[in-house]
Amino acid sequence: PTCPEGIVGDWDTMEDGDAYALLDETGIIALNPTTNLHEVLMANNLGWKDLLSELCHVGSPGEMFTSSAPQDPTFWPLHGNAERMISVMRVYKNRGKIEFDETWGYEHTKELPSDTGMICDWSGVTGTLDMPTCTSGICSGHKEDDLLPFTDLFEEQGDTLITNAEFYERISPLSHELPYAYDTLFYWEACDEHNLLDQYQKSKGKSDSTSTSVWSQVFDTIWGVM
- Helix/strand/coil (H/E/C) assignment for every residue in 1-69: CCCCHHHHCCCCCCCHHHHHHHHHHCCCCCCCCCCCHHHHHHHCCCCHHHHHHHHCCCCCCCCCCCCCH
Give whole-number Cα distances, 182 to 51, 179, 187, 190, in Å: 41, 11, 10, 17
Helix (H, G, I), strand (E, B) or coil at 126: coil
Q: Which of 21, 27, 22, 19 is nearest to 47 (CA)?
A: 19
What's the pLDDT at 66?
Answer: 63
Q: Which of 170, 164, 64 is nearest to 106 (CA)?
A: 164
What's the pLDDT at 217?
Answer: 43
What's the pLDDT at 178?
Answer: 87
**CA gap 38, 171 in Å, rounded:** 43
Confidence band for 61, pLDDT divided at 50, 70 and 90 = low
148-171 tens-digit pLDDT = 999 998 888 999 999 999 999 999
Q: Which helix (H) or strand (E) holds 134?
A: strand 133-136
**CA gap 10, 24 in Å, rounded:** 18
When the pLDDT of each residue in the chain is averaged and rounded to a whole number, the result is 79
Confidence band for 4, pLDDT divided at 50, 70 and 90 = confident
Instruction: Give φ, ψ of 121 to 5 degrees.
Output: -105, 110
Query: Quick check: 204 pLDDT over 50?
Result: yes
The CA-CA-CA angle for residues 147, 150, 153, to 5°, reads 115
Q: Report if pTM > 0.75.
A: no
Structure-model confidence comparison of residues 59 and 7, the more confident one:
7
Query: Quick check: 20 pLDDT over 80?
Result: yes
The torsion defined by the Cα of 118, 124, 129 and 131, in degrees rounded to 10, comes to: -20
